[in-house]
Structure 1
Amino acid sequence: MSSSPSETTFANRTMIVSGGSRGIGLAIALGAARRGANVVLLAKTAEPHPKLPGTVHTAVAEVEAAGGKGAAVVGDVRKEEDVARAVDTAVERFGGVDIVVNNASAIATEPTETLPVKKFDLMMDINVRGTFLLTKAALPHLRRSSNPHVLTLAPPTNMNPHWLGAHPSYTLSKYGMTLLSLGWAEEFRAERDGAGIGFSCLWPETYIATSAVTNLADGAALAEASRSPEIMGDAATEILSRPAAEVTGKCYIDSQVLAESGVTDLSRYGGGNNPIRDIFVDETVRA
């Protein structure tokens, strides 16, 4: 089912991406599609949204235009039955699952006293529960892959009090995703005769010009100082092309991954000379 991890091709490798109809999730899907991957996109956006570009169906069209094969699953990563449909679609259409990308995420950064409980629950349900559900459902199929990966869009666990105090509930939900990934790396390290399943995290060094940024009050100015989602797509495909045992248990920053692979000029991703540093990223971890 999978190609050799030393090859750059993703031909015959099947990826499931949650929340992949736009932004970073779509950029990762397209990065893999350009190398020939099969991509199953699980997202709620079946119809165009007035403030958000694209649907899960237009995203699949982009995947196929990029050179991959795609399948759309309209569903909610919080619902076990929808997640099961996404995994079943990957198995039925493409023969298995090689890669899971836990991309779907909710963000709310209001202070604790003003954060609605509904938003707290939403972050925990999408970020933590959704990551758990999709990974759990894919595990039996990942075991049969020759280079299985689960990539989670979550930050390194930076215990700097600034980030802990800035938005405790959001921080809890994102670090929850990270801790699941690190825990699974150990839980499944002995799988496949010791080759393991690759559980890793990826986080952007800077703001990324997605709808979440452009829809803010000063979105146009913020987008100018943000890098394009393609930097995350390129970093993700670099991680996912490596052997599972090499990346498991690691948390990566996009610019550092690219620097490791010899890409040091990041100007093509935009953001200007001083792009906005993303949350959870201290100056000391800059590439």
Structure 2
Amino acid sequence: MNKTNKPNKPYVALVTGASRGAGKGIALALAATGATVYVTGRTQHEGDAPLPGTVHATAIEIDKLGGKGIALTCDHADDQQVAEVFDYIQHNSGRLDILVNNATALHDELIRPAPFWENPLDLVNILDVGLRSAYVASWHAAPLMAERGDGLIAFTSSFGASCYMHGAAYGAQKAGVDKFAKDMAVDLKPYGVAAVSIWMGMLQTERTARVIAEHPEQYAGFSELAETPQFTGRLIDALYRDPLRQEKSGLVLVGAELAREYGITELDGRQPPSHRAALGGPVQAHPAIVA
């Protein structure tokens, strides 16, 4: 049984880094509820990036699903552009209910099996767009939510926060956003705003489709285990509507495990597995608070 029973009224959400991949899928899932979904991204025209997808195309798909899609071109490495996004949302919607911090600088050499010093130094940019950018976006979102006494800030993370996955920079970014959720939840608690980090499993995205096409023998059986990005979006929707949402604030959640709690499956009925046994589980925050 789905434990969520918050009224099914449209909300206002922002999903960062939504031209493609996890961000796009999450935005589309939120759109299916009738939400107003702001999406940010750098890609304005097809062909500008090595992978398909644009922020405007995502907004159009949001509209087709019954939501209201609003595309905002933004480079999350530029604090001024980020500030303008939140000014626009405040001016046009007057509120923000959900922020999904997903924008991440994923280098094309990310999955190249080599020691970190033999990979391009640019892989460390994930600590700028991916970690610092999530802090900046949350800094802007928090007062909008705190003023209304309601809201959810969600960080997209992965098992790479626990085990070795794609090298040191990737792991540090994932561990970093997990800590953001833990610590921001402390500050947000008096205002009724929740913060969580969600570990996604292997994802069916444009990037993974390209990798599978290049190395099909390494990814046999991938589709049976992989999650759609929409799956995480449906979890975020359910979490926002959960009347006991605050009990999960500050937690690092394994998406597949949260789905079982909420009775959520993929649209085809599959229940994506948790990889906790193989890759480790999240470490939750110690209850001590040192001001």
Determine what percentage of the aligned residue pairs are the same residue: 22
Equivalent pair of 2:28/2:62 in contact (CA under 8 Å): yes
Equivalent pair of 1:155/1:178 in contact (CA under 8 Å): no
How does the TM-score come out when normalised to structure 2?
A: 0.81
Say whether residues 1:55 and 2:54 are aligned partners. yes
Aligned residue number for residue 209 of structure 2:
214
| Equivalent residues in 2 for 1:16-27, closer than 5 Å | 16-27=14-25
Deviation string, structure 1 residues 220-256 (Cα, Å, up to 9, x no partner): 9735342322222222211222244132111112221
- Cα separation, 2, equivalents of 1:270 and 1:218: 25
Say whether residues 1:247 and 2:251 are aligned partners. no
- Cα separation, 2, equivalents of 1:267 and 1:72: 26
Counterpart pick for 2:28 among 27, 30, 42:
30
Aligned residue number for residue 198 of structure 1:
194
More helix by share: 2
SS at match of 1:144: helix
- Cα separation, 2, equivalents of 1:133 and 1:213: 28
SS at match of 2:148: coil
Q: Unaligned stretches of 5+ in structure 1? A: none
Aligned residue number for residue 288 of structure 2:
none
Letter in 2 for 1:77: H
Say whether residues 1:140 and 2:143 are aligned partners. yes
Aligned residue number for residue 179 of structure 1:
179
Equivalent pair of 2:16/2:103 in contact (CA under 8 Å): yes
Question: Post-superposition shift, 1:164?
Answer: 4.3
| Equivalent residues in 2 for 1:102-121, closer than 5 Å | 102-107=101-106, 108-109=110-111, 110-120=114-124
* Number of aligned residues: 267
- Cα separation, 1, equivalents of 2:240 and 2:217: 32
Change beyond 3 A, Cα 1:134–1:10: farther
Deviation string, structure 1 residues 59-112 (Cα, Å, up to 9, x no partner): 111111111112111111121111112112211221111111001123435422
- Cα separation, 1, equivalents of 2:248 and 2:273: 27
Letter in 1 for 2:37: V
- Cα separation, 1, equivalents of 2:100 and 2:82: 13
Aligned residue number for residue 155 of structure 2:
152
- Cα separation, 2, equivalents of 1:220 and 1:28: 29
Letter in 1 for 2:78: K
Q: Unaligned stretches of 5+ in structure 2? A: 282-291
Question: Post-superposition shift, 1:117?
Answer: 2.0
Change beyond 3 A, Cα 1:270–1:76: farther
Aligned residue number for residue 286 of structure 2:
none
